[in-house]
Structure 1
Amino acid sequence: MRSFKSSVKHYYGLVQYRLVLIMGILLAINYLHASNSVNTITCQSHGQAFYNIDGHRRTMETTTIAHAPGFTLFENAYWKNYAWYFVSSRPWAFPELTMVVTNVPDYDELPEMFHNDGLARVVTPVEMADLGLDLEDVEVLDGSTVSTVYHLVGEMFLGAWRVYTSVLVDPFGKAPQRTPQTDSRSILDQIPPISRFVFVHAPPHEVQDHAKLNMNFFDHVFPGIPFEFEDQWQARADSLKLFRFERVMIADRWSGHMAYTSKPMDYAFRLPAPSNWVSDLKVRMLANYQGPVSLKDPSHANSKPVITYLSRQEANHRKFNPETHEELIIALKALEEEGLAEVNVEEFSDADSKDEQVAKLSRTTILVGIHGNGLTNLIWMTPDAYGRSAVYEIQQPGMYTDDYAIISEALGIEHWIIGGRDEELE
């Protein structure tokens, strides 16, 4: 017979074994639960972007789906009388609010204070109730809302779109996401459709550029989606109702600059995104194009690169003197005469067909031009399969800005800056 002492030791050995087994099972269950629910990286440092891939939240609390300074995608965000309320039992999981929204409606105005509690707050459900705000007594704005303004397509929209499409990429390779490698559908068909574009602090004339490129872009890519301006939002504020946004992308230019970058979309472009995050926009832009420009992609080994010189000689400023302009054309045409490239000289005007402009840029392998808004057209270039795509941006004396370099790099296109601080244009 076993002694009492040995029996006790045997018993406690079984208990310890059972406890270890139970703890192991509980940890495994907890791990499986966690891996199937939320996949999050959060950081509140100034220059950081992060993900929160969480497609199945059941509560009415606010979730940060994706964030980069100046561009934040929320689920279940609340708004009342120009104040945002982000409701969460985990307030530490939110980005620094100055990186989300500021109190500067006009980019040219310097703020006395970038942020205050009357502009945006992260509150717990209990604090929300203490404020007299009932999460069940809300007017719901269904679908996805994009709130943005200033340098609309080339800056704020592209930054917002990069963050919005980043949710299709799993940064850890754990979740079976539908990416362009496994899904041939347009990226526009893979993400929740946008229901409205909102310009809370702007009247219509501030959103429309003189060339009408902004409206042309949205009419082609997001046909029929309504625009809302400051008048509609003043009426919503005056109603003193609490509104809940099913999803909202807040794009704030000053918040982007709060990360101390030269352009507000810099950190947004650092988020990984599907390879067709912009090219599918171009497909929609040219869906009904029937003009003379061939849309055949020239990016194959036996094709000559297509060089487009985008002239500004008819502009009021930032242009070559006539002699330098002609010398550049002669040098480029020499490449064509040697059979090394196809060369096109273009000078787009407000009266030119916008579809024609996009079509010409879609064939462009190498874009050459003086710094100016026309270089935003580089977003329509088709990155060359053989790595030949490039932008050569010529800057005036004393200038150095990497506005367009940031966009080029985000599209996988090399960018060269010529002139600027160290050289003078003749």
Structure 2
Amino acid sequence: MNRLSRRDGLLILIGASCLYTFSAIVDYAVPRSFPAVHLGDPPLHPVGTTPHVLDLGLQRYPPETSLIAHAPGWTLFRHLYMSNGTFFILSSDSQSFPEIRMMISTSLPAENTPENIAQREPTSQEMQFITQDEAQRRWGGNITHGERNRILTVQGNTFLVNEPKQFLDHYYHFVAELLFGARAFLYGAFNPSSTAFVPSPFHVDQSLPSFNMRPSEYEPPSFTRLMLLHASSDEWRDKPGFNAYFLRAVFPSLALEASEDWADRVASTVPTPDGTSTKAWHFPIALLADRSAAHRGEACGSRTQRIAAEPWELMLRLGGIDSVGHWWSHVRESITRFATGKVSPKERITDDSSGKPPQLPLPETVVITYINRQGVRRHLDEANHEALVVALQDMVNRKRDEEGKFWELSIVQAETITKDEQINIASRSTIMLGVHGNGLTHLVFMQPSRLSAVIEIFYPGGFSRDYEWTTRALGMRHFSVWNDTYFTHPNEPPLGYPEGFQGTSIPVHGPAVAKLIEDWLDGRL
């Protein structure tokens, strides 16, 4: 056998190297064929194409700010700027925007005193107008010398919450006011059926694999991030933990920045000591919510005391949302699916186009849920509580035995069961009954039907609109009970917080409440 010479070995090595190089070139030029992956049918309603991305860093002037929609305390901007803690509206026409005081405040905790009210009025530190020339002078680079503008874009849709921790760590105020109002505002502003309609600026790629259910109908653009400007990472969390539970269930991809993160952004845009250089943050789409500014509006400040009433009433008037809570259905379905793994049945809303309000269906099963608060502050007199339970059980048994109606009665002590169980119970409830308190916030997860109602027990002489307004905003009926007397819209009692309102001996007449429920379900009210 002949042995390879050194020359032969060298030629073989050179030939192998050439073959490898040629193969790599061909492989790069002609991609391999991969197995097809079926990701499901395309969405029923295409959401548009990916927008062209413009490099604003090399533009002579930053884009001007425009207003997408506004209600007192709720302002949806396109191209909002922030530098050194101040929001800047870049526009040469300040008259085309609302008063600054109707958009923002100093975010101090609210007290009902003339001094505090005055201190919450905004200054130029909170917000101001700026022209393109001034913006270019402050933040622009020398484009001819290759310098970029000193502005960074915070991509996506940002929800800016300019309020202190005062109310944020309360389940009702966080979920049923702040996020409730934000949903109504975004749903209405981007709804093609609304007279306020503006095209969504962001494309959602429906071809990407995801465990999240895809909407089968119109769904507004979601928030990319939530920025709590004046609450730390712990100060927005309620004690039962429902704020975080809700946020993660409904917005699984949401990024959250707290006051520490906002302080970082502010610090990074502080002017240099000689004033020669400043930077800015650019929000292409931003919803700014401000509690104090909302209370300057008529719907919130004069009638409801609910900040969500401002965007809800505006979008209802513009045709962007409906009066029976369908605009909230995706949120309700998301959290119910998270808690139970079940997909809620689609709402069957009747609309005969005759100008009459849309009508909800009848429930398949009547479920009466009594939220028992006897283990926490503000609850019924113990004897009255026991009599109420007996009256409810007697009513359910009688309807079954005498009329063949199988109404379910669920008595729930929320602090003894899991969050998932609480959501499951709320989602099945036709009637939710309980003493005025945080547990009634679960009403936002009830499936609205023609018989859905919330019955709220107050100390006689007391009344608050918290759950009354929210119930009606979802198209359900609300009853306020003073012992053996009930009130309902439009004849609600006046606001009142008498001695005993927060007490542990709230009276109620059980048989009267049972009769109220029976009369409502049987159509006598």
- Report the TM-score range of the alignment, normalised by the length of the smaller protein: 0.7 to 0.9
The Cα of 1:94 is off from its aligned counterpart by 1.2
Task: Sort the Cα spacing of 1:205 and 1:393 in 2 relative to 1 into closer, same or farther, 3 A.
Answer: same
1:353 aligned onto 2:418: yes
| Letter aligned with residue 123 of structure 1 | I
Deviations 1:343-399 (A, max 9, x none): 2111101x6321221111111111111111111110001111xx2111111112342
Task: Give the drift of 1:305.
Answer: 2.0
For residue 182 of structure 2, what is the amino acid of its counterpart?
A
Letter in 1 for 2:181: G
- Cα distance in 2, alignment partners of residues 356 and 388 from structure 1: 23
Q: State how far apart, in whole Å, the 2-side matches of 1:158 and 1:174 are.
A: 19
Aligned counterparts of 1:289 and 1:276: Cα–Cα separation in 2: 20
Shift of 1:98: 1.4
* Superposed displacement of residue 264, structure 1: 1.5
1:158 and 1:212 map into 2 onto residues whose CA distance is 18
Query: In the alignment, what sits opposite 2:309?
Result: 266
Provide the rounded CA distance (Å) in 2 between the counterparts of 1:312 and 1:174.
Answer: 43
**How well do the aligned residues superpose, as a CA RMSD in angstroms?**
3.3
1:29-75 deviation digits (Å, cap 9, x = unpaired): xxxxxxxxxxxxxxxxxxxxxxxxxx99x981112212221221111
Query: Residue type matched to 2:250 in 1?
Result: V
Inter-CA distance 294–164: structure 2 relative to 1 (3 Å threshold): closer
**How many angstroms apart in 2 are the aligned matches of 1:177 and 1:192?**
10
For 1:165, the equivalent position in structure 2 comes to: 187
Q: Look up the equivalent residue of 2:253 and give its one-letter code.
A: G
- Counterpart check, 1:117 vs 2:124: yes
After superposition, where does 1:261-300 map in structure 2 within 5 Å?
261=302, 262-270=305-313, 271-272=315-316, 273=321, 276-290=326-340
Which of 155, 159, 163 is 1:142 aligned to? 155
What is the rounded CA distance, in whole Å, between the counterparts of 1:213 and 1:266 in structure 2?
Answer: 22
Match of 1:389 in 2: 452
Structure 1's unaligned 5+ residue stretches are 1-54, 179-183
Q: Does 1:425 pair with 2:501? A: no
- Kindly report which structure 2 residues correspond to 1:180-329, keeping only aligned pairs within 5 A, or say none: 186=215, 190-240=219-269, 241-259=279-297, 260-261=301-302, 262-270=305-313, 271-272=315-316, 273=321, 276-290=326-340, 301=362, 303-316=364-377, 318-329=378-389
Q: Which of 455, 472, 478 is residue 409 of structure 1 equivalent to?
A: 472
**TM-score (ref. length: structure 1):** 0.76
Q: How many percent of aligned residue pairs carry the same amino acid?
A: 27
Q: Give the Cα separation in 1 of the matches to 2:192 and 2:340.
A: 38
Match among 319, 337, 342 for residue 408 of structure 2: 342
Gaps of 5+ in 2: 1-50, 55-61, 142-148, 201-212, 270-278, 348-359, 483-492, 499-505, 509-525
Deviation at 1:207, TM superposition (A): 0.6
- CA distance in 1 between partners of 2:310 and 2:179 (Å): 14
Indicate which of 94, 102, 113 corresponds to 1:91.
94
Residue 269 (structure 1) shift: 1.5
Give the one of 425, 431, 444 matched to 1:379. 444
The whole-number CA distance in structure 1 between the counterparts of 2:124 and 2:199 is 37
Q: Structure 1 residues 301 and 77 mapped into 2: Cα distance closer, same or farther (>3 Å)? A: closer
Query: Relative to 1, partners in 2 of residues 1:314 and 1:362: Cα closer, same or farther, differing over 3 Å?
Result: same
